[in-house]
Structure 1
Amino acid sequence: MENLNQRLAALTLLRKELHKNPEVSGKEVQTAKRITSFLENYPPDELITQLGTTGILAIYNGKTAGKTVLFRCELDALPIQEINTFEHRSLTNGVSHKCGHDGHMAILCGLAMELHYNRPETGTVILLFQPAEEDGSGAAAVYNDPQFSCKPDFAFALHNIPGYKKHQIVVKNNTFSCAVNSLIIKLKGITAHAGEPHKGTNPALALAKITTAFDQFIQDDISNKDYCLITPIYSKMGKKAYGVSADAAQIHFTVRTNSNAQMKHIESKLEQLAQSIAAKFDLKCKTSWTQSFQANENHLEAVQQILKAAEFHDFEILEKESPFSWGEDFGLFTQQFPGAMFGLGSGITTPALHNPDYDFPDEIIATGLQTFLQISKQITNAH
């Protein structure tokens, strides 16, 4: 059995190997193979692969029946070119681990090492290595896979957060991270000669009207229950044919709210408004939604487990007053099971997530591992 320093050294090497070989959402084949190979050295009672495409479940059973707790991390990287020059920099052009999922995987692999040598007293601990978090499709793919038959009493996840002190545990009851959904609006009119635009229906004015009309729903105070941020992301209209008045256009927005209920309300309002404006300009309008992330609505009892574990290790705790504005598809699991996500501070001066020079700080692997392990003990050893 390795001592703690030996385990952390092995986890750091694994983390750097994962960092060097990133794969984007839904393509994490080699990443999954690396994780599976690592887990085979610390065999669980049951190992399920190809879950929701490339996902993995490692199940460690206790000595007797009891509660089940699930811990989840992410497999995927981002389509971002790394600019770092260190030895473990990405070997894949245009793809890199810029959200720290390599570190999250290392933390969960550390938990596997511990569970292999020390099974829970009671109950079951499940480790989920989830694909495709970045595009919002992975959690649903896992949950809807027939292989995912477990019903945990609790589900937990963490995310490293630059701009917060290293090793700091960041918690919040209720909404931890926002609901995020992306709206695509497609407008269709009729072409005409550019010298006689009145003989067709050009979508330009409708496109502008929709963009400005959406401003009425924006409430940028994230602590407000009616918080709503609508950001134009992409637009396209017509072709570079200067004698032709355009007949088609599309525009994409991301929408953020701090509750799933508010998101449903806003979705309906935006669709109705887009259709209404299009009709006034005699245009056909199609709306669709993509890359949907449910809000992480943390459960109080799960948050209390995180606080108890952090206090046990005397880790600094920050109880946040307002949610994070980014989305994270672990929110689907907190809709289905009691659970919570918490933040793990990755350094005040650490580059922001998704920045091309970001790199997960290896020294916080131990903090995440110790927190998860203590939560596991609290739940599976409870009498």
Structure 2
Amino acid sequence: MNDILTLRRHLHQHPELSGFEFETSKTIAAFLKQYAPDELLENLGNGTGIIAIFNPEQEVKQTILFRCELDALPIQEINDFEHRSITDEVSHKCGHDGHMAVMCALSKKLSVQKMQHTKILLLFQPAEENGEGAVAIYNDERFKKLSPDQVFALHNLPGYDHHDIVVKDHTFTCAVNSIIIKLHGRTAHAGEPENGDNPALAVAQIITEFNTKIQPNPKKEKFSVLTPIYLTMGTEDYGISAGYGEVHYTFRRAANSEMKELEQELEQIAISAAEKYKLKPEISWTQRFSANENDPKAVDFVRQAAKDCNLNLIERDVPFQWGEDFGIFTEHFKGAMFGLGSGKETPNLHNPDYDWPDEITETGAEIFYKISQLIDAQ
């Protein structure tokens, strides 16, 4: 695993943001070519995606895909170890460097011993953090021709012991979407606000009514988390009554069907508030993440793989509330996302002091390989 460790720390030291993973992609491609996949597809999706294809020794009976992510986050790292990020305001704070290392370790295993009847696709996906990467890969014509029968991905989980495997049937991560509401009115003299259309009361009404949609208990029906992200209105000129405002929210629910219902309700709240105060609303959406809807039969392969690898298996009761764009794949293919414990003392994801624990890299590769073997033996 020494070459994998060196690779992981190099990736951590040289992070790139979503959509700009050009050097990361080159590094991964160069590493994969050492282990002779049967085919290596490059420049997928937005131009940085990679798929390594390992054909079986005999007739293909099924195709399975494993996915990891290439991108880092716009966060300044505060660690002082030797492999810390050399790029200001950019760092791997979600463990995608480790996920790539897991997949590269898996490629080494597959180069030594292929499956008998199962084609394996290793997808290195760009732009997970902004929700654009999975969509771009899914819409790529070269990907469409591959048509996997099942898809799998893991995500490291601080707060769980190293090597724990965390599974859940059905929704594993929530559906997430974000709304941008722009309210166009008319400025006026602050001494004569009645001569303009100020968005303040509309903003207040939107926030108040959005709060009524919050249902924070994930074990109850219509679980909903709505979080205000950004708010602006007017300027710091005390003689002017504002004529423009913006409200940004992100929100999440446990199922894709429930998300669509909430989207419609929130749009109507914004439109009604704007009309009441004679404002023109402009509504847009950004960074949509489909819920990861796990297929129970696919999760059973993860369960059996964990048992065969003598790993501690944890059954989770409720979905994780963060978004993950692997949901695009589980929306169109049977599959599952599961968790890999990265330590109870490990800083949380997206924290400036987070670092992937190298001791779990081989565990991730082993369980992916075991899933492949179980499916191949069907």
Is 2:68 the partner of 1:73?
yes
CA distance in 1, matches of 2:219, 2:119: 37
Residue 206 of structure 1 contacts residue 281 of structure 1 at CA under 8 Å; is this kept in 2? Answer: yes
1:60 paired residue number = 54
2:201 paired residue number = 205
Residue 225 of structure 1 contacts residue 258 of structure 1 at CA under 8 Å; is this kept in 2? Answer: no
1:287 deviates by 1.0
What is the correspondence of 1:215-364 to structure 2 with a 5 Å cutoff?
215-364=211-360
1:192 paired residue number = 188
CA distance in 1, matches of 2:41, 2:118: 18
CA distance in 1, matches of 2:30, 2:376: 27
CA distance in 1, matches of 2:235, 2:376: 62
1:122 paired residue number = 117
1:22 paired residue number = 15
1:224 deviates by 2.0
CA distance in 1, matches of 2:244, 2:34: 57
CA distance in 2, matches of 1:43, 1:25: 28
CA distance in 2, matches of 1:269, 1:286: 16
Residue-by-residue CA offset, 1:237-274 (whole Å, 9 max, x unaligned): 11222211110000100011000011000000000111
Q: 1:50 aligns with which of 43, 46, 50?
A: 43
CA distance in 2, matches of 1:104, 1:156: 12
Residue 180 of structure 1 contacts residue 256 of structure 1 at CA under 8 Å; is this kept in 2? Answer: yes
1:120 deviates by 1.2
Give me the TM-score of the superposition, normalised by structure 1. Answer: 0.97
CA distance in 2, matches of 1:44, 1:168: 30
CA distance in 1, matches of 2:156, 2:174: 16
1:186 deviates by 0.4
Is 2:24 the partner of 1:31?
yes
Question: What residue ranges of structure 1 are gaps of 5+ in the alignment?
Answer: 1-7
1:286 deviates by 1.2
Q: 1:147 aligns with which of 142, 147, 154?
A: 142
CA distance in 2, matches of 1:162, 1:111: 22
Give me the TM-score of the superposition, normalised by structure 2. Answer: 0.98
Change (3 A) 1:225 1:174: farther
CA distance in 2, matches of 1:232, 1:65: 49
- Return the letter of the residue paired with 1:18: L
Residue-by-residue CA offset, 1:284-332 (whole Å, 9 max, x unaligned): 1111110000000100110000000000011000000000000000001
Is 2:58 the partner of 1:91?
no
1:102 paired residue number = 97
3-state DSSP class of the match of 1:155? strand
Residue-by-residue CA offset, 1:168-219 (whole Å, 9 max, x unaligned): 0000000000000001000011111111001000001110110011111110
CA distance in 2, matches of 1:212, 1:263: 20
CA distance in 2, matches of 1:196, 1:319: 62
CA RMSD of aligned residues (A): 0.7
Runs (4 or more) in structure 1 with deviation over 2 Å come to none
3-state DSSP class of the match of 2:154? strand
1:112 paired residue number = 107
- Return the letter of the residue paired with 1:259: A
Which sits farther off after the overlay, 36-45 or 240-249?
240-249
Percent of aligned positions that are identical? 55
Residue 223 of structure 1 contacts residue 323 of structure 1 at CA under 8 Å; is this kept in 2? Answer: no
CA distance in 2, matches of 1:238, 1:43: 59
Residue-by-residue CA offset, 1:148-168 (whole Å, 9 max, x unaligned): 121111100000000111100
Question: What residue ranges of structure 2 are gaps of 5+ in the alignment?
Answer: none
